[in-house]
Amino acid sequence: MEKFITLKDTVVPLDSENVDTDQIIPARFLKATDKAGFGDNLFRDWRYNKDGSENKDFVLNDPTYSGSILVAGNNFGCGSSREHAAWAIKGFGFKAVISSYFADIFKGNALNNGVLPVQVSPEFLQKIFVAVTKDPSEKIKIDLENQEVELTGSGEKEHFDIDPYKKTCLMNGYDDIDFLVSKLDVIRKFEKKHSGKDKKLEKTY
């Protein structure tokens, strides 16, 4: 998994609330078990018209906006617990999503797949939407180590929370197995230290 320490980029503003996982990746595209290709169908029913042509009014088809950060309205990722939603967002090229609230299961799936969900206050989210709408070249800086998100134009910052374990994994590019492997020396020392005690216990019984 790619390391995530600091990200500074322009953003794509999706000013919609209650974006559920069926909008992120419609159920008819869930047959594949491989993560590859899901980005092609991200927001499929919003990005394309029924005749297959691009919906020019949808923000992902608007050349005004680009970047690896998606900014979305409140309650992003609600609905069914499909992990494919996180796969689609990552597959499209987004590395972080900013919202004022994430559904818990989506948040976990995003973190497990190397996409950072940044939860900010409704007030700060609104500032981002206003700034980006005014100037699409506005960049957002996400500093994972210090857990801060910044509007680089004005310098306004806000702290965000993240599970310490997930923070360690993202900053080191670890998945759960990688994290365990990184602790191999500690595990071996623990086993060596306690193996003798175990034998003494066995003799007791």
| Per-domain boundaries in the chain | 6-195
SS3 state at 149: strand
Tens of pLDDT along 12-61? 999 999 999 999 999 888 887 778 889 999 999 999 999 999 999 999 99
pTM of the predicted structure, to 2 decimals: 0.89
What's the pLDDT at 168?
96
Architecture of domain 6-195 in this structure: Alpha-Beta Barrel (3.20)
Question: Which of 181, 146, 179 is closest to 5 using CA atoms?
Answer: 146
Q: Which strands sit side by side in the sheet containing 116-119, from one edge to the other?
A: 116-119, 96-99, 69-72, 6-14, 139-143, 148-151, 156-159
Kindly report, residue by residue over 165-188, the tens digit of the pLDDT: 999 999 999 998 999 999 888 888
Contact between residue 161 and residue 26 where contact means Cβ atoms under 8 Å apart? no
Q: Where does the chain have alpha helices with state H?
A: 21-24, 44-47, 84-92, 104-112, 122-134, 164-172, 176-182, 184-204
